[in-house]
Amino acid sequence: MADKVDILIYGPSKPVIDGGFPANFVLHKFENQRDLGRLAADVVGRIRGIAVTGLVPADATMLARFPKLEIVSSFGVGYDHVDSKYASEHNVIVCNTPDVLTEEVADTALGLLIATVREFIQADKYLRAGKWENAWYPLSAGSLRDRTVGIVGMGRIGQAIARRLEASLVPVVYHSRNPAKGVKYKHYPKLLDMAKDVDTMIAITPGGASTAKMINAEVLKALGPRGIFINVARGSVVDEPALIKALQDGTIMAAGLDVFANEPKVPEELRIMKNVVLLPHIASASVTTRNAMDQLVVDNLKAWFSGKPPLTPIAETPVKGR
């Protein structure tokens, strides 16, 4: 019989994760940081792996509780809620769940863009209110036919979004710190320069300090009065009060937002606006894709504790051996 491995399941309960481990894994399930106070001291001392199953903060204080910690397997491709600096300094591997959600998130980005530009949600409300029986819904001011899209972040998901736009005959350019390998679209090293040249912007970068509020009042002003802003990245990449003001005073035309600064709280100003489409952070949220993400959380831990390298460690915590 293999040695027992104590794992903390931290975050929401998931059938694929809760039921995914062989018998030698001992699972300790806790939903949030407050609950962790109930963990018995002897268990704390035995935890060797953590499955972070949702957007719960795994900060330095939380991680430092576990002296035997070897690996954190986090749900989601973004890991700005896990302190990777602490992990790297303490020889703890962090894994995320890239690739398995790329196409789903790109589908959502395109759906959100089209719903925003062509006013699908307003048109749906119009029909349900019985107004079509009196008059046709007004023509949408926006169209994808005369737009250029600037993608902020040209990684796995940015490229999948660009492929969809290209198939729709929409010109694409992008901003990232470095030109993306093998990508033919025009690269802008400066976000503001790109904002001046496009009328539509889709954000799909990581969150965290390096992207915090990069989409600010100046960028939104440069996007201009035809401007459409789509955010499927993180709420933190936008100066949210500046975005609200830009939408209220016509600095930009409309926005489609899947992510917010203080989720799940969404400012009332946004909730009452007609020129926004708001989604509750669902870009990857189909059963198929979420199951694949959950499975990868499990598979990273299973690989590591059966003596193999984890499947998807993040760049900041390369595997150095045991």
Which of 71, 94, 105, 173 forms a contact with ligand NAP (CB under 6 A)?
105
* Alpha-carbon gap, residue 87 to 302, rounded angstroms: 19
DSSP state of 58: B
Q: DSSP per residue over 217-237, as a string? A: HHHHHHH-TT-EEEE-S-GGG
Which residue lies nearer to ligand NAP by CB, 117 or 160? 160
Question: Measured at CB, which residue is nearest to ligand NAP?
Answer: 155
Select from ligand 8YV, ligand NAP, none the partner in contact with residue 38, using the beta carbon and a kind-dependent cut-off of 5 to 8 Å.
none
Q: What is the dihedral of CA 40, 43, 49, 54, to 10 degrees?
A: -20
Is 104 a catalytic site residue?
no
**Binding residues among 85-144 for ligand 8YV as defined by CB under 6 A:** 101
Which residue lies nearer to ligand NAP by CB, 77 or 170? 77
Least Å distance, CB 98 to ligand NAP, is 5
**Binding residues among 137-156 for ligand NAP as defined by CB under 6 A:** 153-156
Q: Output the six-digit token pair for 37.
A: 């106070």
* Alpha-carbon gap, residue 116 to 122, rounded angstroms: 9
3-state percent breakdown (helix, strand, coil) of the chain, nearest 5:
35, 20, 45
**Pick the catalytic residue: 48, 147, 175, 234?**
234
Residue 78 lies near ligand 8YV (rule: CB under 6 A) = yes
The answer to whether 125 and 146 are in contact (CB under 8 A) is no
- What single-letter amino acid sits at 42? D
Give me the residues that bind ligand 8YV (CB under 6 A), please: 54-55, 75-78, 101, 281, 284
Q: Hey, which residues are catalytic here?
A: 234, 263, 281
Give me the residues that bind ligand NAP (CB under 6 A), please: 77-78, 98, 101, 105, 153-158, 176-178, 180, 204-207, 210-211, 232-234, 258-259, 281, 283-284
